[in-house]
A and B are shown apart, each in its own frame.
Chain A
């Protein structure tokens, strides 16, 4: 279906198709009219409608300008694009990569048509002091973020010309270290109340950015250097066994134990599977997939094998039919 580049054997193919069919039948039986492609006329049932995003007035008829689903709120009609590029909204949590350090601001790549801007003043100073930024602060900007750093921030506002302002409200935001970044299709990430997750049983931080960038990293206690140090020190005796790779990190005091690394990889692979199958990515589904792999005693690299794909699809179909019945 979603041109998975995997070699399935015959039974796996049948099972997967079956599971996907089942999923399709479970999806909400929306009005077929509500799906439109570019140029389609959107039926209007009443007067005085409001044209929202993705619509255009074409000779008295309302036409769609994107492919997607027609949404109606009272009299507002707009088209929600199905597989669109990420479009930032105020309050979104995003992850971006610093591509340029310019006066008073960083430019971040956030999977949007334009680069986003994080002002130096929109960012708490490392020592937490409230004051105006000085020229010295500006010179020291690279000590906070430098090129290619990964940064987590919140969308503050988008200007009329489409340029984007970011902000880091508190210590929770900021530089991301010791982990993996995954890129998924942004439409798989739905806006939720919480985008920061601390998975305690794995000791992992999971940040699901609205722009389709997902961060999986070793848990850092509110980005307070002192606490992180103590945490990793206590774990060191356990992970001392493989020294060869760790020497460099150890010197930095940013040591990630083997176990945490494995957890990161396992979660990352779970997300990879989910995104390839085209399932919405939420923390619940990720955890379920991780648990499934654990219960099957699968090695991390085996999670990307075709058998696991089929299993995940089947369990997802099972889960959705269960939750549907509950309602």
Chain B
């Protein structure tokens, strides 16, 4: 490696980017690249001095030979320049961090290590402490030795330190951002951007990231913002190669789809898919209601897929294994299944028992009564089967047990649920040989989606222990709900690129305004978001040019009159659609959707997207209604909706051609009624009905049904349509108006001369394409305009307006008293909470009630069957809602995009009772009986509540409200006890 590396020189081109690729004959290669800030001239003197110093002796020597990417990165560090390391989870990025720390300690400089997750910070703190001893820790929960030279903290803490101008910012030479790809996180990603932009000018950075394709772009940004060169070291290398298998649902074997060389095996992939046992006919009824159970539910008495698989894994000695699943319920279910297994040797059993009891000893007697702490653990450890139910990483006792296990005995099976899964994937040290994904659908706030290929890469990276396993094994359980293409995308896809998730918050604005030299505009200008937008401009320009050329090359005869005709057509279509919307609003058509009614359905035209241009109806087919049902929203608040407003799906029996089979095959199709964007749309209802057989599942009945349908159609070719006005009783004036306009249009069509042209169809198609191109060009141009401007400019203005209206800041950007309070609150909705304080709501209530009210700020989950809180609490909650509504309305008036009711409803009263009881001194197992939530979620909420209270103490101090301050302090002392704040072994 030594000889292939040269000090990168800036190229003489204008943007000054030097490129250097290190590529050796060795299989383990890495890419090395440097970003220089525009107009940067590397001063030989400074690097020379640093190099001379470094020549003496490396700051740290490792007992093993470094991988090329590690030594590349370390060379950059020795030169005193920032570096971004992008590699897989297990590749050994920590080595770079360790070296940076060792180097800073040698030079008597401070070094800060930030990570996205507290648990990870804790773990790293322990690691570094063993290695260097001069190490401190700062998270929201604990502060240990804040004067140490190496400080481990969460990124949020680092951000607020910079706002407050802590003296650490003046001493830190190196800042290590671990897992920097977290920057694309929707909610928290912006914290990384803020911290990087505001970081001290003369400090250097180490970014450790998962593999991201646009690492170069990120480095360019850092180079620009901080006016210093930034190196990129990128490697795809995995110390233990991965094999990806597919386990088809209901099947019995594994199919290797991606081998350790990363080659995708098409043939066995198809074999796997063919082995899929379709979710049995009998299970069909269940399919609609329970979306993601199918795979693991299995039949009673029979062994479930997961159980079969774990057994197989153990047999083949693929253990230890981590099983990822993405819902808490499923996770619990899986763990129950696992409990039957006994995987441990006798000596291990003794080991586990000791660990278990020592873990239990740390809890109070009452907490041992917890179902989670005692029942689960006792059960599994008592029976000495080896399963751990990891609900959340923040549930200390579990983390603790888990950790001690990984230290002493090898962990065999571990089932974990999504937030924990993310923690895992992000680098908690929990090596396993095998990783299993039970279901790869994930709930991300508003809907279920497939996990992206990037997430898959992250999580599958847990498989394979360096130096122990020859290869890691990754098993994907696939059911028939998963499209083969989706699976393929996930397995073969590339890592997600690092995109900015920048957004504004009031807390950020106030903090920026409060600083003498800070300005929100400046932050925006330097944000990664802006950088990416700027970068996109030349690309967009090119696109627009190409499209324009394409458009101009299309020449159509008689374009004007054709256009006229085209516009008429569009109008006609939209009118038709309006009519349909009225006729098929559930209000009118529900009474007519009895089983057995004939309906006319518009057919989908597969891949052909171009719309047809005749006034005639499109290709249609007839079917028979089977049943209809309400579509359940993800948030089940349909109860307060009128039946007319909800969405319905109608099941229709019809002849369908399944392209795979080739032969005519009859299936059930789901027809959405309201959304015309869906594949099938009902066009007409017939007045005729057929008698319906009870059970439609046997093929025979369906055949018969179909036969009678076609017979009926043969007799009545028109299908006997229902007349909307006469039969369905639609008497709205808008309907009549629409009908009249359609008639007028139809007469216009006949008169139009061009409609007689023989080539009208083709011509219209060309015109349509041209129109679409024009629209596309327009949208690209709009995008270009918006990116030349400062991103978020309008939103910034609007938000500043809100701050002025509510009296948080004056028109010449001076932060007022209220603003100073809001500045302190970063873990809850700052405006609403500040308003509550200034309205004196928190003043009169008892401490327990106040804590209970504040719980609404930290609880986001929605509970189905949560009981209403008692009256006093309910009253408080109404006050909160009123305040929130007022805040939201002011925002709306100031043109901030906000959904008022959605904002008000984001405050959830569900755990008010539980928190009230907790503050009253109840035991944890008692409050668990009050609310049907997961222990982990509740513990996390209470911990976050404590964080908010700490911020409120500071806020109260700043407005001179000593009573309130004392009250908050009392609140903290009331909730900070027992299992919720039990010390973790990590510390």
Q: List chain A positions with a Cβ less than 8 A from chain B.
A: 47-53, 73-76, 78, 89-91, 93, 119, 121-124, 128-134, 154, 156-157, 160, 167, 169-170, 172, 191-196
Contacts and interface: CB of A to CB of B under 8 A. Distances in A.
Question: Which 7 A-B pairs rank lowest in CB-CB distance, beginning with the nearest?
Answer: A74-B838, A48-B840, A75-B840, A53-B960, A121-B167, A131-B109, A193-B813
Contacts of B817: 73, 76
Contact of A192 (B108, B814, B820, B959): B814
Nearest to A121: B167
Contact of A130 (B149, B170, B517): B170
Nearest to B813: A193
B838 A50 contact: yes
Interface string B155-190: 000000000110100111100000000000000000
Nearest to B836: A74
A121 B814 CA distance: 28
Contacts of B813: 193
B516 A195 contact: yes
Nearest to B109: A131
Nearest to B957: A160
Contact of B202 (A51, A130, A196): A130
B203 A130 contact: yes
Nearest to A196: B516
A56 to B, nearest CB: 11
A5 to B, nearest CB: 34
B216 interface: no
B364 interface: no
A128 B200 CA distance: 10
A172 B959 contact: no
A51 B961 contact: yes
A48 B844 contact: yes
A279 B873 CA distance: 51
A122 B166 CA distance: 8
Nearest to A57: B963
A131 B204 CA distance: 12
A21 to B, nearest CB: 29
B109 A193 contact: no
* Most chain A CB inside 10 Å of its own CB: which residue of B110, B171, B957: B171
A121 B168 CA distance: 8
Most central of A93, A119, A128, A193 by chain B CB within 10 Å: A193
Contact of B173 (A91, A130, A169): A130
A156 B165 contact: yes
A164 B170 CA distance: 19
Interface residues of B, number: 45
Contacts of A134: 108
B515 interface: yes
A64 B436 CA distance: 69
B516 A130 contact: no
Contact of A78 (B170, B818, B960): B960
A113 to B, nearest CB: 16
Interface in B188-232: 200-203
A195 B814 CA distance: 12
A132 B110 CA distance: 6
B167 A131 contact: no
B15 interface: no
A52 B960 contact: yes
A50 B164 contact: no
B961 A52 contact: yes
B964 interface: yes
B843 A50 contact: yes
B18 to A, nearest CB: 25
B959 A131 contact: no
A160 to B, nearest CB: 8
B517 A170 contact: yes
Interface of B: 107-110, 149, 164-165, 167, 170-173, 200-203, 513-517, 807, 812-818, 820, 835, 837-841, 843-844, 957-961, 963-964
Which has the most chain A C-beta neighbours within 10 Å: B815, B841, B844? B815
A129 B171 CA distance: 8
Contacts of B960: 52-53, 78
A312 B392 CA distance: 70
A120 to B, nearest CB: 9
A53 B516 CA distance: 25
A131 B838 contact: no
Given A52-B959, A193-B812, 4 more contacts: A50-B959, A124-B170, A130-B202, A196-B516
A226 to B, nearest CB: 15
Contacts of A73: 807, 816-818, 838
A140 to B, nearest CB: 15
Contacts of B839: 48, 74-75
A123 B30 CA distance: 41
B868 to A, nearest CB: 25
Nearest to A74: B838
Contacts of A51: 961, 963
B81 to A, nearest CB: 14
A192 B516 contact: no
A122 B841 CA distance: 39
Contacts of A47: 840, 844
Given A74-B838, A76-B959, A192-B814, A93 B516 contact: yes
B961 A131 contact: no
A275 B109 CA distance: 47
A157 B840 contact: no
Contacts of B108: 131-132, 134
Contacts of B820: 89-90
A130 B814 contact: no
B843 A131 contact: no
A130 B172 contact: yes
Contacts of B107: 131
Contacts of B164: 156-157
B150 to A, nearest CB: 11
Contacts of B200: 130
B692 to A, nearest CB: 64
A167 B167 contact: yes
A169 B198 CA distance: 12
A86 B814 CA distance: 18
Given A48-B843, A48-B844, A76-B838, A121 B516 contact: no
Nearest to B167: A121
A213 B978 CA distance: 53
A130 B149 CA distance: 12
A160 B837 CA distance: 21
Contacts of B840: 47-50, 74-76
Contacts of B149: 132
Contacts of B170: 121-124, 130
Given A121-B167, A169-B165, A131 B110 contact: yes
Nearest to A134: B108
B516 A91 contact: yes
12 contacts: A48-B840, A50-B837, A50-B843, A76-B961, A89-B820, A122-B170, A124-B170, A129-B202, A131-B108, A132-B109, A132-B110, A167-B165
Contacts of B516: 91, 93, 154, 169, 194-196
B721 to A, nearest CB: 63
Nearest to B817: A73
Contacts of A194: 516
A276 to B, nearest CB: 26
A89 B819 CA distance: 13
A130 B109 contact: yes
A57 to B, nearest CB: 9
Contacts of A193: 513, 812-814
A74 B961 CA distance: 14
A70 to B, nearest CB: 14
Contacts of A90: 514, 820, 958
Contacts of A123: 170
Contacts of A154: 165, 516
A238 B513 CA distance: 42
Contact of A132 (B171, B807, B815, B844): B171
Of B515, B820, B960, B963, the most chain A CB neighbours within 10 A belong to B960
Chain B CB within 10 Å — which of A48, A76, A160, A192 has the most? A76
